Amino acid sequence: MTLRNIITLPNPVLKRKARAVTKFDGSLRALIDDMVETMRDAPGVGLAAPQIGLSERIAVIEYFEKEEDEEKEDALKKVWAVINPEIIKASPEMVVGVEGCLSIPGLLGEVERHVEIQVKALNRYGTPVRIKAAGWLARIFQHEIDHLNGVLFTERAIRVWQPQEETAVDAEQEV
Ligand code: NI
């Protein structure tokens, strides 16, 4: 596995709509493994392929599957690799949360997101999967799918600001 370089603004790849993946082979799976390693190293809870300079519809996420697990000490995070993901259902209920992005260092913003979503995607083998997500996990999926459409959280934010210190940024906000 190899750590990939995370690109930042103003790299134009971040503003581009990424292309769909059509080939599910060993090199795709190696790329996904690199993305997971890069996300963990950052550290962050999500990473989209455009963030490593690849304009392809691939994202990885590592977070708690159930909202209640966020409070449990022994709960394990789950890893998702989603290819060509699409939001097929979104709750009308919205919630505001504070997000950051590995590609926009030193900035946080308040962003309104759907509380619950359903995502249709392909897994690393090209098999269709459906994922139901709520709360922070739903937020991460929405943030990553935005990346695949060239949309950054700063474009959706109600307000953005620079935190006083680097340490003020929580790793779970970095997607
Ligand atoms: Ni991001």
Rg of the Cα atoms in the chain: 15
Distances (CA, A) of 12 to 7, 9, 76, 133, 145: 10, 7, 36, 30, 17
C-alpha 144 – ligand 1 centre gap (Å): 6
* Chain CA centroid to CA 159, Å: 20
Q: What is the pLDDT of residue 166?
A: 57
Q: Which domains, and CATH codes, for the chain?
A: 12-167 (3.90.45.10)
Contact (Cβ atoms closer than 8 angstroms) between residue 7 and residue 14: yes
C-alpha 175 – ligand 1 centre gap (Å): 4
C-alpha 24 – ligand 1 centre gap (Å): 24
Q: What is the pLDDT of residues 24-42, one digit of tens each?
A: 999 999 999 999 999 999 9
Strand segments (E) across the chain: 46-48, 58-63, 78-90, 94-100, 108-114, 116-122, 128-134, 159-161
Q: Closest by alpha carbon to 133, among 72, 81, 91, 175?
A: 91
Burial of 45 (0-12, 13-18, 19+ CB in 10 A): buried
**Cα(175)–Cα(164) distance, rounded to whole angstroms?**
20
Q: What is the pLDDT of residue 24?
A: 98
Spans of the chain, pLDDT less than 70:
165-169, 171-172
Q: Pairing state of beta strands 108-114 and 159-161? A: antiparallel
Q: What is the pLDDT of residue 168?
A: 58
Q: What is the pLDDT of residues 41-53, one digit of tens each?
A: 999 999 999 999 9
What is 151-169 written as a DSSP string?
Answer: --HHHH-SEEE--SSGGGS
Instruction: Kindly list the protein residues that place their beta carbon closer than 5 angstroms to ligand 1, a single-atom ion.
Output: 101, 175
Q: What is the pLDDT of residue 68?
A: 87
Q: What is the pTM of this model?
A: 0.94
144: annotated active-site residue: yes
C-alpha 132 – ligand 1 centre gap (Å): 20
First to last CA, the chain: 21
Q: Pairing state of beta strands 58-63 and 46-48? A: antiparallel
Annotated catalytic residue: which of 56, 62, 99, 144?
A: 144
